[in-house]
Amino acid sequence: MSERDWAAGPPEERQESVLEPPPPEVEEVPGAAPASESEPESEFESEEGAAPMAAADGESVAATQAPADNGRAPADHAAGEFRVPDGYGVLEGAPQGARRSVGVVVSRFNGRITGKLLEGALAELEDAGVARDAITVVPVPGAFELPLAAMALAKTRRYACIVALGCVIRGDTAHFDFVAGEAASGLQLAALETGVPVSFGLLTLEDASQAEERLAKGAEAVRTGLEMADVFSQLRAAASA
């Protein structure tokens, strides 16, 4: 007997395999599409990046499938008017930039997006009354370097607030999580250690297509920084009165 015959098993085992009864036939349901052997075991592709399957109404399954964690689609922000009840002392700032200097740290990485964030931030600073010569822009290589630059500017005590702008886009590795997380915690640390407001204008995106509707984040970060700077100014004035 050849090696190929032995690889297939002894003769009696091969004979038993030949005599095995065929699998039971599945009764076809009228109108149902025939099953294909190449169909995946799961309704959804398991490989990352696979194209979503089409739903019956023409939308993709990925768009209609609810998140697995809570079974509900993500909710919008809870918009609405906020007010403090009457009878309480209120110390609230306003995004006013007159007689204030502002430092802006911005990441060059993903420059097509961060450049637009910077444009929006500079336009908002001008609208708020911040003089052009009172603005210092510090470009840095990437989002990971934002906290260090923000800390350095804040420690000079020359700026009423620091505006941090950047963009991190999720890739195929855990790099996104490390950079985004460390940038966020580092910027908060810079504010806590120096007492200078550091506003968060870092976009954290799943893909670049999400950037367009979030480019107003640059202007929003400016308003946040100026408002906090105004609160701190009022607080210092009240404490020294």
Alpha carbons 76 and 140: distance in angstroms, whole number: 33
Residue position matching structure tokens 């961060």: 114
The DSSP result for 100-129, as a single string, is --EEEEEE-TTHHHHHHHHHHHHHHHHHTT
Angle at CA of residue 219, ends 214 and 224, nearest 5°: 110
* Catalytic annotation, residues: 175
Q: Computed from CA positions of residues 32, 37, 41, 42, in that sequence, does the dihedral angle turn out positive or negative?
A: negative
Cβ atoms 221, 161 nearer than 8 A: no
**225 Rama sector, left if φ>0, alpha if ψ -120 to 50, beta otherwise:** alpha
